[in-house]
Structure 1
Amino acid sequence: MTYTCCDSLDVDTVYRPGQQLTVHWTVKPGTDPAAKPLQVELAARLTGPYAGVDDLKDAATSAAQPAAGVVTFEAPLVRPSGASDERPVSLISIAEDASPGYYNLITSVQQGEESALGASVVRVAPRTRA
């Protein structure tokens, strides 16, 4: 089995503070049905806010320390069983007091000795007043 992130709706949605971002992992069956599945760990985290997409990309490619005010919201690790009908999800809770802006959604798949990283841009809008 191989796992990749994520449904386009996961990243195309504008979120608000206090909401939960659900990362729907895409599962692709392996080519060898007799192969023993490797232990897999799926991770997802949201880091920001950034004023714009260019600021986010600059920060992502820089080795510098994160800018002041940048926070990270992490989903608990997901360890799928490898069942063919399994549809794993990662849940990231966005804090009630999260600042609006652009956030970097960073995903990783650790499968045996191999790992793969991915990134997407997610927007968090200002909190609405009730």
Structure 2
Amino acid sequence: MDTVYQPGQEMTVHWIVKPGTDPAAKPAQVELTVRLTGPYGDVSELKSAAGGTARPALGEVTFEAQPVRPSGAAGERPVSVIPIARDAPPGSYNLIFAVREDGGVVGGASVVRVAPKA
């Protein structure tokens, strides 16, 4: 992600919906979650922490969006909003997202930067 966030901003995550192939099927019960965890001094520290070999130097903080539970309606565009605290320490944050459906979980991660407070 190329956007650098400032403390006090909100990060918006737009989820991509792929409709099912069976129009008669009942919509699945899906829960979408996303959070930022950090800060880390740089991406290599973040990756080490994700692998379980390091911790944030300043103590870990987490900012998370409320879980989103799409209804399955046609044209639905689910959005998650992560409020970044006004006193958020600067650094690299791990953006962790997950889709929970029918007892299974699929997820991933990316890197988000938070700038020093202006």
TM norm structure 1: 0.85
Match of 2:75 among 85, 88, 101: 85
Q: For residue 106 of structure 1, report the CA deviation from its aligned partner.
A: 0.2
Q: Deviations over 1:8-51 (max 9, x none)?
A: xxx33110000000011011111111111111100000000000
Matched, 1:56 2:46: yes
Q: For residue 79 of structure 1, report the CA deviation from its aligned partner.
A: 0.5
SS of 1:54's equivalent? helix
Matched, 1:19 2:22: no
In the aligned structure 2, how far is the partner of 1:63 from the partner of 1:88? 34
Matched, 1:45 2:24: no
In the aligned structure 2, how far is the partner of 1:84 from the partner of 1:112? 20
What's the RMSD between the two structures over aligned residues? 1.3
Code of the residue aligned with 1:32 in structure 2: it is: D
In the aligned structure 2, how far is the partner of 1:63 from the partner of 1:127? 28
What are the residue-to-residue correspondences of 1:1-130 with 2, within 5 Å? 11-62=1-52, 66-67=55-56, 68-128=58-118
SS of 1:82's equivalent? coil
Q: Deviations over 1:32-87 (max 9, x none)?
A: 111111111000000000000000001001177x4451100011010110112000
In the aligned structure 2, how far is the partner of 1:63 from the partner of 1:42? 28
Return 5+ residue gaps in structure 2 as ranges. Answer: none
- Matched residue pairs, number? 117
TM norm structure 2: 0.93
In the aligned structure 2, how far is the partner of 1:35 from the partner of 1:12? 39
In the aligned structure 2, how far is the partner of 1:28 from the partner of 1:12? 25
Could you list the structure 1 runs, at least 4 aligned residues long, displaced by more than 2 angstroms after superposition: none
